[in-house]
Amino acid sequence: MESKKAAHREQKIMSSTQVLHSLIGGGLIGIAATVMLLFNGRTTGISGIVSSSLAKPTKEGLWRWGFVGGLLFGGGITYMIQPELFKSFHQEKPLIILFAGFLVGYGTSLGSGCTSGHGICGLSRFSKRSAVATLTFMLLGFLAAQVAYRLHGGAT
């Protein structure tokens, strides 16, 4: 009985190492955004950076390619050092991935930002627009996740 309760508790509570990892990772993201701001005078809205990169290459837009390159390079290096950081359930149904990806691409363009642009940079700037945007995508994310969760009978 006791071991069952303990196992259940361990499942529910996040380990302190995971909390630390999330805080430190978040701090690194904050530093990345600070560097972009201090040197280039720009916000780090990844959807905007990617969207603008999908145009003819210009001198003015070179920094965007640099950032995307950094994301990819950083991802590759991190994966080589600690592949467990990428170990997760991944949605594998192609139609769902295509639909979701399209919604993310279109929605971030229409809404002028994503979790990094509105959620991190916008909130740090105390932007009302970003606060509204963040609340909106969090709320709709919660609703969509609920529907998906219940459709699967309460499992991922």
Partner 1 sequence: MTNSTNKQFLVSFFSGVLFAAGLAISGMTQPDKIIRFLTPQIWDPSLSFVMAGAVGLHAFTYHLVRKRKHPILDTKWHIPTRTDITAPLIIGSALFGIGWALVGFCPGPALVTLATGNPSAILFVSAMALGMVFYKKNSLLIKLGKAIRNFILRKQLKLSHRNQG
**Should residue 10 be labelled a site residue for partner 1 when binding is judged by CB under 8 A?**
no
Task: Report the phi/psi class of residue 154: left, alpha or beta, with left for phi > 0 and alpha for psi in -120 to 50.
Answer: left
**Should residue 57 be labelled a site residue for partner 1 when binding is judged by CB under 8 A?**
no
Sequence letter at residue 80: M
CA distance linking residue 114 with residue 50, whole number of Å:
11
**Should residue 87 be labelled a site residue for partner 1 when binding is judged by CB under 8 A?**
yes
CA distance linking residue 147 with residue 18, whole number of Å:
28
Among 56, 94, 151, 153, binds partner 1 (CB under 8 A): 94
Among 3, 59, 151, 153, binds partner 1 (CB under 8 A): 59
Binding to partner 1 (CB under 8 A) within 16-55 occurs at 18-19, 21-44, 46-47, 50-51, 54
